[in-house]
Amino acid sequence: MKPMMLCFAFLVHANVLVVHADVASAEVPFQFAAPNTRAPDDPDVNGLRFSILHGENESIRGVDIGLLSLSETSHLSGVSLVLGIGKVNNEMSSGAAISLINIHGGNDSGLNAAFINRINAAENAVNFGFVNVADGETLLDIGGVNVSKSSTAQVGFINVTKEIKGFQFGFVNIAENGFLKVFPVFNFPKSAPKNTQN
């Protein structure tokens, strides 16, 4: 009977901590989210957020799980597993975003894995998806179609960038600074970046 009482006491204590987390700190360890619902109602989660259909926060540090969800945050540090759309409005630091569709507005570091990755910049991230589109610089794009402004490396069926810093490997490779602007199988920059140090 003692183990049952200890377990019950632990559950009651954990429930009190979750319900009153906004009094104890500015972050909650667990949050449930749905359209027009966020319980407890706090913009910052430091632990686990579980959302159905829609969840929106200012920051998540920990794990974000979404079921048929638009899972939205400004800052993500941790792992996001979303069966739906994972949206990060500002930055993902040291994280992994695994969704059907990732839409990221800031700078990412870590891993973006989705059927479609639509990101701003991922200078310190690997983008893995059927379609990877970046407005800025990326580290490594692996997918069917990879499009970026600048990339260190692209591996895919079709690779397109204005500036390739390392290499492209795929069926069609397009780089404005490539040794040829369009070349099958592989492409690389026609000249090494200039060293500006004296």
Q: What is the pLDDT of residue 35?
A: 95
**Average pLDDT of span 56-74:** 96
Environment class of residue 112 by beta-carbon count within 10 Å: exposed (0-12), middle (13-18) or buried (19+)? buried
pTM assigned to the model: 0.81
Say whether pLDDT at 179 is over 60: yes
Biggest CA-to-CA distance, the chain: 76
Say whether pLDDT at 11 is over 80: no
Say whether pLDDT at 168 is over 70: yes
Share the mean pLDDT of the chain: 88
- Phi-psi category of 62—alpha, beta or left, where left has phi over 0 and alpha has psi -120 to 50? left
Q: How far apart are CA 148 and CA 141, in angstroms?
A: 9
Residues pairing with 181 in the sheet: none
Q: What is the pLDDT of residue 27?
A: 78
Say whether pLDDT at 14 is over 70: no
- Top pLDDT among 100 and 195 is at 100
Say whether pLDDT at 81 is over 50: yes
The string of pLDDT tens digits covering residues 123-145 is 999 999 999 999 999 999 999 99
Tokens of 72: 């939205």
Instruction: Assign 3-class secondary structure to the chain.
Output: CHHHHHHHHHHHHHHHHHHCHHHHCCCEEEEEEECCEEECCCCEEEEEEEEEEEEEEEEEEEEEEEEEEEEEEEEEEEEEEEEEEEEEEEEEEEEEEEEEEEEEEEEEEEEEEEEEEEEEEEEEEEEEEEEEEECCEEEEEEEEEEEEEEEEEEEEEEEEEEEEEEEEEEEEEEECCECCCEEEEEECECCCCCCCCC
Say whether pLDDT at 93 is over 80: yes
Q: What is the pLDDT of residue 94?
A: 86
